[in-house]
Amino acid sequence: MDDFETGSTTTLPPSSSSTTLPRKQTTPAPLPAVPAKAKLIPTNSVTLRDGTTVRVRIEATLTVEDVVRQLCLSVKVKDPPGMFALRDESDELVTNENLRKKIKAKVNLK
């Protein structure tokens, strides 16, 4: 404490009882917003020439050539991917122009 009359300073001894000051309350950081509808890649079924059906998720940004190449690798076909094409159930040829529409509609392919 300051003694105004003498100009001297007095130091108080520490208190024997421990005093805890109240903590400043903090709010937790807000959680990141979750989109109402997460973008999922639709799943399509592809029936192979031997009759086996496989479920695949085809990324809409790929070309038909890339999709066929990946399918050939996945099912371990020995023939080159260039010998194959994708068709829908009504035998319409799947092209780069109609691939995205067929993926989103979850059309079965062969």
Note the pLDDT tens digit of each residue in 80-91. 999 999 999 999
Q: Return the percentage of the chain with pLDDT > 90, whole number.
A: 45
Give the integer Cα–Cα distance in Å for 64 and 81: 11
> Look-up: residue for tokens 């010998």?
83
The CATH number for 43-104, chosen from 3.30.1370, 3.40.1350, 3.40.1710, 3.10.20, is 3.10.20
Q: Apex CA 18: angle with CA 14 and CA 19, to 5°?
A: 100
What pLDDT is stored for residue 43 in this prediction? 84
pLDDT tens digits for 39-71?
Answer: 666 688 999 988 999 999 988 899 999 999 999
Indicate the domain borders of the chain: 43-104
Give the H or E element holding residue 56: strand 53-57
Give the integer Cα–Cα distance in Å for 46 and 39: 22
